[in-house]
Amino acid sequence: MKISWSTTNRQTTLAAPVSLDGLGVHSGKAARIVVNPAEANHGIQFLRTGLPGGRERLISARHIAVSATELCTVVGEQTSGSVATIEHLMSALAGLGVDNALVEIDGPEVPIGDGSAAAFVEAIGQVGLKAQTAPRRYIKVLKPVRAEHGRAFSELKPFERGFRLDVEIDFASALVGRQRKSFDLTPAAYAREIARARTFGFMRDVERLWKAGFALGASLDNTVALGEDRIVNPEGIRYPDEFVRHKILDAIGDLALAGAPLLGEYRSYCGGHKLNYMVLEALFADRANYAVVETTPRREFGHAEVALGIAAPAFAPNTR
């Protein structure tokens, strides 16, 4: 990788475009994505191409654009153009501190790769990032908010030292069981501890998912498959707690749909895409729950490529 890990308080974008292609894990359809640099304050946007009649559609990667959360996160509308399974790419962009990018995609679903965010991290690492003149904006959580669904919940609370995730899962299967992990998001820690954690599923659910139109592209190359009493993949798992690490990966990607990095603490129990979306809705339901803050740049960058970290920010006055 061309990047060393340090910090910047300025917005960043890619130093050059990167492209990846492959199959969607649910649709089974091929797609190619090109992640392009974008100007400051652009945010992350998807340009969906290849639509009937040669149409294209621009879709902002924001929670207000979410149209489905069953087994994956979908933005846009199926009738006019949508992009599914955006969470792993969004996780990589947020995890590495990418503020601005235009993602061109010619199919309905982001390629799954090996089921983790590793391919996106590697591709971005090959070209590096560059600093932009604009200061980075953050969404600072001011009041606790919570979403519940049955026994499961997710919540966001104030936290003064960056973005912390505390995620717990609890499965009846002994292969997964109860796992909990707390993680402070920095680019180096993300690349080291989270990016390689893969999606997982139970073999007993496969036929039901196929009938519902899901998992049509799933295989042992992109999913950790759980049998009744063993992990089916010959290579086994990458971490003893790979399952909860992947839930953290997903949460980082889903919560990136806030539109700017969060400053706060996220806690979930048996959460998923739906609850991640619901807690963002709860956050933005009341303007008193959050503030938009900017960093005060600490130094000028004299080179085009900078590292991927998020420094402890110095806050400018709140902007409304």
Which residues are part of the catalytic machinery?
A: 273
HEC readout, 236-273: CCCCCCHHHHHHHHHHHHHHHHHCCCEEEEEEEECCCH
- Judge contact between 138 and 259, C-beta under 8 A: no
Q: How far apart are the first and last CA of the chain?
A: 39
Nearest CA among 172, 88, 147 for reference residue 267: 147
Q: In what order do the strands lie in the sheet with 305-306?
A: 10-14, 129-135, 305-306
- Spatial separation of the C-alpha atoms in residues 86 and 73, rounded to whole Å: 6
Pairing of strands 290-294, 137-141: antiparallel
- Judge contact between 89 and 103, C-beta under 8 A: yes
Pairing of strands 66-68, 163-170: unpaired
Each residue of 87-113: b (16+ CB within 10 Å) or e?
bbbbbbbbbbbbbbbbbbbbbbbbbbb
- Spatial separation of the C-alpha atoms in residues 171 and 150, rounded to whole Å: 15
Distance of alpha carbon 303 from the chain centroid: 28
- Spatial separation of the C-alpha atoms in residues 169 and 152, rounded to whole Å: 9
Q: How many CB atoms lie within 10 A of CB 306?
A: 21
Nearest CA among 19, 247, 21, 27 for reference residue 116: 247
Tokens of 87: 């969470």
